[in-house]
Amino acid sequence: MAYNKTYIQELIIERVAGTISVEDDSLLETAIQHDEHVKQMWHEMQQELNSNQTFFDNVDENNAWDKIEPQISNIRPIGPRHGGVSKWISIAALLCISVGLFFYWQPKPVTQALIVKKNTNKPAIELQMANGQHIDLSDTAKRIINTSFAHLKKGSNGLSYQLANTKTQEWSTLVIPPKLSYQIVLSDGTEVWMNSASSLRFPFAFTGSTRDVYLSGEAFFKVAKNKALPFIVHTNQTDIKVLGTRFNVNTYKTDITTTSLVEGSVTTNSVNSPKLLLYPGYQAVYATGKGFSTQSFDADVELAWMHDIYYFHDTKLQDIGEVLSRWFDVKVVFDDPAKAREEFSGAIQKNRPVEVFIQNIKTSAGVKTSFADGVLHIK
């Protein structure tokens, strides 16, 4: 049997860190017993990761950095920005080279062979109907639901529907809880991918002169073209108007709305700012009290959340904590307020246990934490 090297490396790191699941530990043990390459990797990485403090104290930082700097010119390991190269950066870089830790800056998602674990306490994705009915979309046992105005077809990752009455709007709200993401195909063919802790209010049928929806959180839109009926995304700060295009809208911060255009063109406006025309490869950032600003963006980074990856670059730990809250339903408490303002670069994988991120940020950046009962204390 062939094993994915990167995945096996991650399992070894989890075993050493004490965060590996029973299923993954069994898989790793089988690989170690039946594959000589995996067995050798296990012994080498175990020795590397279990090295005691004497190893670190004896590291010649300057010499080590001179050797590995050419190899990691495009890699930014996790760590606060203090100017210059600190001791932990040298050590973290050595670990990144030797054991392939994922905490580095990589603008392309990595495809890995992952085992999907069933979560019996999985939160529910809900469709809240105008009549007060709540439909659990996470339960896929019943895939077809018939109503007086539409036939709903639900799957493990998305919802589509066929209208029974094209003249009835029937406004409803799709609510995505923390940890999960979801996709919906609207009646006009528009596809919407929704991130965790987001909601979309929409009509089952677009009956007016515009196609209006209301977003809270973050979503990616692939709007079906219809020049006669503009598509408008309303947020708490801005309105984004399109005819047919692909773009991302992020409203997680109450005072900032970011619209990132991938294809086509959009116009966005606010009550206190003039209309802004946006071109592909640029994003409009609206900030309360400041109005609009535009800047270019990297779609591979901005849209990585659709591949269950969040990249952060020179990002405050407080903002990273907000992502942990949305993606893992973890409450983050800063016992040391100064830590919240420190900036880090790296990545988070949504389909890996949050303990993996905690262990790596402790090892790489020297951040002290305690984690219990869904509460992460950063000290």
Q: Which DSSP string corresponds to 258-314?
A: EEEEEES-EEEEETTEEEEEE-TTEEEEEETTTEEEEEE--HHHHTGGGGTEEEEEE
Question: What counts of helices (H) and strands (E) characterise the chain?
Answer: 10, 24
pLDDT score of 106 more than 60: no
DSSP run (H or E) holding 214? strand 211-216
If you average pLDDT over residues 232-238, what whole number do you get? 96
Q: In what order do the strands lie in the sheet with 182-185?
A: 144-146, 150-154, 158-163, 182-185, 191-194, 218-222, 246-250, 256-263, 282-287, 291-296
pLDDT band at 144 (very low <50, low <70, confident <90, very high): confident
> Which residues, listed in sequence order, are joined to residue 372 by a DSSP beta bridge?
375
The three-state secondary structure class of 207 is coil
Say how many residues make up the chain. Answer: 379
Tokens of 160: 């589509």
Q: Give me the helices (H) in the chain, please.
A: 5-17, 22-34, 36-49, 53-57, 61-68, 87-99, 299-302, 317-328, 337-340, 354-365
CA dist 25 to 18, 29, 49, 112, 331, Å? 10, 6, 17, 17, 27
pLDDT score of 269 more than 80: yes
pLDDT for position 8: 75
Please give the backbone phi and psi of residue 14, each rounded to the nearest 5 degrees, phi first.
-65, -40
Specify the pTM.
Answer: 0.71
The pairing of beta strand 198-203 with beta strand 211-216: antiparallel
pLDDT score of 315 more than 60: yes
pLDDT score of 260 more than 80: yes
10 Å Cβ neighbour count for 194?
25
pLDDT for position 311: 93
| Cβ atoms of 333 and 376 closer than 8 Å | yes
Q: Which residues contact 365 (CB under 8 A, 6 or more apart)?
A: 78, 79, 80, 88, 92, 344
pLDDT band at 270 (very low <50, low <70, confident <90, very high): very high
Can you tell me the distance from the alpha carbon of 60 to that of 66, in angstroms, rounded to the nearest whole number?
Answer: 10
Can you tell me the distance from the alpha carbon of 191 to that of 246, in angstroms, rounded to the nearest whole number?
Answer: 10
Tokens of 343: 């900036």
pLDDT band at 28 (very low <50, low <70, confident <90, very high): confident
Higher-pLDDT residue of 1, 237 = 237
| Cβ atoms of 128 and 175 closer than 8 Å | yes
10 Å Cβ neighbour count for 180?
23
pLDDT for position 92: 37
Can you tell me the distance from the alpha carbon of 205 to that of 211, in angstroms, rounded to the nearest whole number?
Answer: 9
